């Protein structure tokens, strides 16, 4: 049984196991190409860590997240994935991810991206 990961801290979370949440978190946090067993797993979000908080960077973050989560659609674990962004101006860019799983349930995830 796998423990659930907390996307805000990266630590193990208490409670029910949500493998879709773990899959979303791992795909967003792992740098693309760095996982030895699957070079296609991961995202390019780490490239944005030293970028300025601009609208262009928010669009890139949205595209990178959608790219990273595409395999969840391809392997049938999700029916639909929508990524939106928010720029509060405090050095963080927030990704809001809406995933409809195979049973039709909607799950929401919030993922931070550090920017300058």
What percentage of the chain's residues is helix, strand, coil (to nearest 5)?
30, 30, 40
Residue 43 maps to which CATH number?
Answer: 3.10.450.40
What's the average pLDDT block by block, 10 residues per block, for the chain (116 residues)?
A: 62 65 92 93 94 94 97 94 93 94 92 90
Structural domains of the chain, count: 1
Domain that holds residue 87: 4-114
Q: C-alpha 55: how far from its chain's center? A: 19
Tokens matching residue 55:
């609208």
**Residue 89: per-residue pLDDT:** 82
């Amino acid at each position: 049984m796998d423990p659930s990961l907390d996307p805000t801290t990266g630590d193990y979370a208490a409670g029910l196991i949500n493998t879709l949440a773990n899959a979303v978190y791992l795909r967003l946090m792992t740098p693309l190409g760095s996982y030895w067993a699957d070079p296609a797993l991961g995202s390019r979000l780490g490239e944005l860590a030293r970028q300025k908080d601009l609208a262009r960077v928010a669009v890139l973050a949205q595209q990178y997240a959608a790219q990273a989560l595409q395999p969840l659609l391809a392997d049938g674990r999700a029916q639909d994935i929508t990524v939106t962004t928010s720029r509060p101006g405090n050095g963080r860019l927030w990704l809001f991810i809406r995933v409809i799983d195979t049973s039709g349930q909607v799950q929401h995830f919030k993922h931070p991206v550090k920017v300058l």
